[in-house]
């Protein structure tokens, strides 16, 4: 199964894991464990507000957002949103070039 960049957004989680498993020639359950481990490493690093760099792919950085007060537009009530850590992804050069060049033939 060949997936081009324009079709990747249409994949759900199960389809994505199937694509990863077929490209790596591994079982889908193994691909799922790899993805869970990947997410855990990123979450642990970014949760400590560190930067997790993956050569050629890019880097993930944890950014702390302070608590804010927002107004609910439907009710007019003011709500306090707690502080949160957001993950920012900055693509690396190789990934940027791969996307701009398109799929290999």
Q: Domain holding 90: CATH number?
A: 4.10.520.10
Residue 45 has pLDDT above 80, yes or no: yes
> Is the confidence at residue 2, as pLDDT, over 50?
no
Specify whether 33 is located in the same domain as 57: no
Domain that holds residue 28: 1-48
Q: Per-residue pLDDT for 27 more than 70?
A: yes
Give the 3-state secondary structure of residue 27.
Answer: coil
Do 37 and 65 sit in the same domain of this protein?
no
Same domain, 31 and 64: no
pLDDT of residue 102: 65
Model-level pTM?
Answer: 0.65
Beta-bridged to residue 58, according to DSSP, are: 54, 91
Helix, strand, or coil (residue 77): coil
- Is there a domain that residue 18 lies in? yes
Answer whether residue 34 shows pLDDT above 90: yes
Establish if 104 belongs to a structural domain: no
Q: How many distinct structural domains can be found in the chain?
A: 2
Question: Mean per-residue pLDDT for 41-60?
Answer: 89
């Amino acid at each position: 199964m060949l997936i081009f960049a324009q079709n990747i957004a249409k994949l759900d989680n199960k389809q994505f894991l199937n694509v990863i498993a077929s490209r790596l020639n591994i079982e889908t359950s193994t691909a799922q464990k790899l993805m869970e481990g990947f997410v855990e490493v990123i979450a642990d690093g970014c949760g400590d507000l560190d930067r997790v760099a993956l050569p050629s792919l890019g880097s993930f950085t944890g950014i702390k957002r302070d608590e804010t007060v927002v107004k609910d537009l439907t009710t007019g009530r003011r709500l306090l949103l707690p502080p949160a850590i957001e993950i920012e992804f900055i693509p690396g050069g190789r990934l940027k070039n791969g996307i701009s060049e398109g799929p290999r033939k």
